[in-house]
């Protein structure tokens, strides 16, 4: 069987499996007019609240993404449909183009006001820093077709690196002094009613004290990380010993193991001294692993994992 | 309009059938085509071709499941177009999906001679029958609808890791299943 014929053969599976997995309920539902008006009013209110941060005094990142055509109201993606390999620090990094909407065809016409200094030229294409952003997690550069689009840092390209190196090269964080705060939030993987109740019981913290931030930085800065695609990080995780942390899973949890996994995880938001937030870090205490995009860290030793869990309010 | 009524409209050769299909299934068909082709323009043309194909084939055909029938035609036409365009290098989710599925494939070149495509599909049906409904749904969403892991996770309200884990287990199970069926993996 040639490559591609697997997909073709799969295409002929029974109808029942296709309809069973239909991504959305396609039949439009009839609603009474009054509900439509209420829904419209609620939508306007939500839209107003949603757009608030994108007004000129909103966060730079939000305004930037808005200008790039990416909106949380639309489906969006920054995936490898187009990527660029660019030098970054002592390594090379993979940047993904930020797409917007279902078409994935956003042209960043409104990005002009955000174009800062030239970062580099590669293969005849120019990439610019974002004006007002010291970090290199976003760049504005030419797409394959030639228009200016937004690019976001995805990962270093090869080998392994430390999170300290990543923080320094991408975010300009060279020491704990460059970090203003570290906040934790829930990774809401369990969206069942039981899972939502469990989320409310989870403790979240915001580290602002210098000692806590230094401990945080020291714990993770020398931790090695490597890129891991398509679930390979889960293969890797299965080879590791799970530390003996247990969490009080609710009695009504439909999948206790899954809920416990959620309770042992935190999404981390690191804020630098200039007020820029860096999202997307996930720490899982039972395995002592830190994830960022498709990168996963080496396992923290048990004593350090316990220290990290205590610091981040997980245990 | 329900599917039976739409099929009646097809039988009457009424263009209302096409309008109803577009209204009811247009979004999902566009999504399937876009997942394969990665281009909105190509996807739109493919959906139009699919609707034309249905117009020409119903009647005499009378699909028992109109949704699956439409989706399947759209998917097949999209894959044909992708190959015809020689756009594989620029393809969207299909490339990733194929790469993930390849690990389940036998390495031997003569498998095609051993197993005709229909027989292979029958094997896949049996494999899917043995999966738990939730795992099957994820598998079909990823490898039939070619939805991205992120999209699936978002719409089902679960974490990406859960989706990835389920797919990994299903692929392993598929590999074992094929081995048991005598396919030399």
pLDDT in tens, chain B (185 residues): 788 888 888 888 888 888 888 888 888 899 999 988 888 888 888 899 898 888 888 888 888 888 899 999 999 888 888 877 754 555 556 666 766 676 676 554 555 555 567 788 888 899 999 888 888 999 999 988 888 888 888 888 888 888 888 899 898 888 888 888 877 55
What is the enclosing helix (H) or strand (E) of A87? strand A83-88
Residues of A in contact with B120 (CB under 8 A): 1, 9
Question: Are A142 and A185 within one domain?
Answer: no
Record the tokens describing residue B182, joined without a space: 């005598």
* One domain for residues A307 and A255: yes
- Residue A132 in domain: yes
Domains and CATH numbers, chain B: 3-90 (1.10.1740), 93-180 (1.10.10.10)
- A299 & A182 share domain: yes
pLDDT of residue A29: 45
User: Scanning every residue of chain A, which has its alpha carbon at the shortest distance from the alpha carbon of B36?
Assistant: A7
Same domain, A187 and A145: no
Q: Are residues A260 and A295 in the same domain?
A: yes
A123 and A195 within one domain = no
Residues of B in contact with A1 (CB under 8 A): 105-106, 111-112, 115, 117, 120
Cβ neighbours, 10 Å, residue A39: 11
**Based on the domain organization, do A144 and A181 belong to the same domain?**
no
User: A189 and B117 in contact by Cβ < 8 A?
Assistant: no
- Residue A119 maps to a domain: yes
Closest partner residue to A81 among B72, B92, B168, by Cβ? B92
Beta-carbon pairs below 8 A across chains A and B: 151
- The answer as to whether A214 is a domain residue is yes
Number of CB atoms found within 10 A of residue A211's CB: 9
Query: What CA–CA distance (Å, rounded) separates A256 from A253?
Result: 5
Residue A23 lies in a domain: no
Query: Using CA atoms, how far apart are residues B114 and B102, in angstroms rounded to an integer?
Result: 18
A297 and A184 both lie in a single domain: yes
Find the residue in A nearest to B101 (Cα): A6
In whole angstroms, what is the distance from residue B156 CA to residue B171 CA? 20
Do residue A277 and residue A188 come from a single domain? yes
User: Which domain-ending residue is among A94, A128, A156?
Assistant: A156
Interface test with A, best of B159, B160, B170 (most A CBs within 10 A): B159
* A37 domain-assigned: no
| Domain region containing A193 | 175-311
Among chain B residues, the shortest Cα distance to A191 is held by B157
* Other CB atoms within 10 Å distance of the CB of residue B108: 13
Find, in chain B, the residue whose alpha carbon is nearest to that of A8: B76
Q: How far is CA A245 from the centre of its chain?
A: 25
ipTM of the complex: 0.80
Residue B126 DSSP symbol: H
Looking at A52-151, list the stretches that DSSP marks H as alpha helix, in order from N- to C-terminal side. 60-67
- Domain tally, chain A: 2
- Model pLDDT for residues A90-105, shown as the tens digit of each residue: 888 888 888 754 444 4
**Are A264 and A225 contained in the same domain?**
yes
Residue of A11, A21, A234 lying closest to B168 (CB–CB):
A234
* Residues A215 and A271 grouped into a single domain: yes
Say whether both A188 and A152 belong to one domain: no
Which residues, 6+ apart, have CB-to-CB distance to A7 below 8 Å? B79, B94, B97, B98, B101, B143
Is A234 part of a structural domain of the chain? yes
CA separation for the pair A66, A54 (Å, rounded): 7
* CB neighbour list of residue B166: distance below 8 Å, 6 or more residues apart: B134, B135, B138, B139
Strands (E), chain B: none
pLDDT value at position A54? 55
Cα Rg of chain A, angstroms: 22
């Amino acid at each position: 069987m040639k490559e591609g014929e697997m997909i073709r053969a799969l295409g002929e599976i029974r109808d029942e499996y296709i309809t069973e997995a239909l991504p959305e309920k396609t039949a439009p539902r009839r609603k009474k007019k009054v509900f439509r008006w209420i829904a419209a009013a609620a939508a306007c209110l939500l839209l107003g609240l949603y757009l608030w941060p994108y007004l000129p005094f909103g966060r730079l990142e939000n305004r930037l993404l808005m200008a790039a055509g990416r909106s949380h109201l639309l489906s969006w993606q920054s995936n490898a449909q187009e990527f660029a390999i660019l030098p970054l620090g002592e390594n090379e990094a993979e940047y993904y183009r930020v797409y917007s909407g279902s078409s994935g065809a956003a042209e960043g016409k409104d990005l002009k006001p955000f174009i800062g200094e030239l970062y580099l030229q590669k293969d005849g294409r120019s990439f610019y820093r974002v004006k007002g952003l010291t970090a290199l997690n976003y760049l504005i550069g030419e797409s394959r077709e030639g228009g200016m689009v937004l690019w976001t840092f995805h990962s270093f390209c090869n080998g392994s690196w430390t999170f300290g190196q990543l923080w320094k090269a991408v975010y300009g964080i060279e020491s704990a002094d460059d970090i203003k705060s570290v906040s934790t939030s829930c990774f809401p993987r369990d969206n069942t009613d039981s899972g939502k109740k469990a989320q409310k019981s989870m403790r979240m913290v915001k580290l602002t004290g210098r000692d806590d931030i230094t401990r945080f930085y020291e714990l993770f800065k020398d931790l090695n990380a490597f890129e891991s695609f398509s679930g390979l990080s889960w293969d890797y995780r299965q080879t590791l010993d799970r530390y003996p942390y247990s969490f009080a899973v609710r009695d009504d949890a439909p999948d206790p193991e899954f809920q416990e996994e959620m309770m042992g995880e935190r999404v981390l938001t690191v804020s630098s001294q200039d007020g820029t937030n860096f999202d997307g870090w996930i720490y899982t205490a039972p395995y002592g692993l830190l994830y960022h995009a498709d990168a996963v860290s080496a396992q923290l030793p048990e004593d350090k994992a316990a220290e990290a869990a205590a610091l981040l309010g997980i245990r | 309009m329900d599917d039976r009524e739409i099929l009646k409209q097809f039988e009457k050769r009424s263009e209302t059938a096409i309008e109803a299909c577009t209204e009811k299934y247009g979004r999902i068909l566009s999504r399937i085509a876009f997942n394969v082709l990665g281009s909105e323009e190509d996807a739109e043309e493919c959906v139009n071709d699919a609707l034309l194909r249905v117009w020409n084939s119903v009647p005499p055909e009378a699909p028992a499941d109109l949704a699956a029938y439409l989706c399947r035609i759209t998917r097949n036409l999209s894959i044909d177009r992708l190959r015809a365009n020689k756009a594989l290098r620029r393809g969207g989710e299909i490339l990733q999906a194929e790469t993930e599925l390849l690990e389940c494939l036998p390495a031997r070149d003569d498998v095609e001679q051993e197993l005709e495509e229909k027989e292979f599909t029958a094997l896949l049906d049996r494999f899917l029958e043995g999966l738990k409904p939730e795992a099957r749904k994820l598998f079909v969403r990823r490898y039939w609808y070619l939805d991205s892991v992120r999209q699936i996770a978002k719409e089902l309200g679960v974490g990406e890791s859960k989706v990835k884990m389920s797919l990994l287990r299903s692929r392993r199970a598929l590999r074992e299943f094929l081995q048991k069926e005598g396919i030399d993996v």
